Amino acid sequence: MSRRERFSGRDRYIHRRHSANQSMRNGLLVVDVQQDFVEGGSLGVKGGMQVAAMIARHVRHFRNEYQFVVASRDLHEDAPEHISDHPDFSTTWPPHCMVGTPGAAFVPTIQNLVREKYIQAVVTKGRHEAAYSAFEAVDVRGHKLLDVLKENRIDHIDVCGIATDYCVRASALDARKNQFQVRVLVNLCAPVNEDTGQQALEEMKAAGCQVQAATAP
């Protein structure tokens, strides 16, 4: 295999990102890749651990293509309209990502990215209420994600994480509402349900998001 053939996938990926505007500043949003949302967690999503590993490879492989990488996380303390011991799995859910519990932690592959500064900021949402979109989250200073992205002069956001049909969907739609160019990295997301996951992708496309597979080896 020639060098040109070996890197053609990566080159196409980068070309699509930059061809519209060479001065564009690119961000990556990693949504809620936490222990309670992967296999073995209280709301574990099938394929979550594999997605976490693929996100970590993607971040490392394309580290020079992003000017800013941010991760969101759920962190609930008391959210009675969202957390229930008798959930309906529509508007109420079993306890998950509770303050002080192992399930609230990022999975190790993502936590390593935070520790090694590949992820430059963490934003937290849902302490006292339901919060699906990362745009409801705040950083350690109390600044909303929108302000954090503006502070870093981000124009384009790649979105990945868990789950496609809930927090990824809500985050991508809010990004479009706030006039960002958005690309959903479909193979770096995991849905709760395949059908609702596909519906979410169609909704994101209709809102103007690109849906594309990431190409890191």
What one-character-per-residue DSSP string does 77-140 give? S--TTTB-SS--SSS-B-S-SBTTSGGGSBPHHHHHHHHTTSS-EEEEE-SSS---SGGG-B-T
Distances 77 to 43, 45, 64, 154, 183 between C-alpha atoms, Å = 17, 22, 37, 31, 32
Q: Is 186 helix (H, G, I), strand (E, B) or coil?
A: strand
Known catalytic residue at 144: no
Known catalytic residue at 167: yes
Q: Rounded to the nearest 5°, which phi and psi values hold at 167?
A: -75, -35
Structure confidence at residue 7 (pLDDT): 37
Q: What is the pLDDT of residues 42-66, one digit of tens each?
A: 899 999 999 999 999 999 999 999 9
This prediction has a pTM of: 0.87
Candidates 93, 83, 172; CA nearest to 129 is 83
Q: Is 197 helix (H, G, I), strand (E, B) or coil?
A: helix
Structure confidence at residue 6 (pLDDT): 38
Known catalytic residue at 125: yes
Structure confidence at residue 145 (pLDDT): 98
Give the amino acid at 69: V
Catalytic: which of 97, 160, 167, 209? 167
Beta bridge partners of 150: none
Q: Return the H-helix or E-strand segment holding 52.
A: helix 48-61
Q: Return the H-helix or E-strand segment holding 144.
A: none
Structure confidence at residue 21 (pLDDT): 52
CATH architecture of the domain with residue range 26-212: 3-Layer(aba) Sandwich (3.40)
Q: Which residues of the chain have pLDDT under 70?
A: 1-22, 79-80
Catalytic: which of 32, 36, 158, 174? 32
Contact by Cβ (8 Å): 162, 31:
yes
Catalytic: which of 97, 125, 160, 174? 125
Contact by Cβ (8 Å): 127, 76:
yes
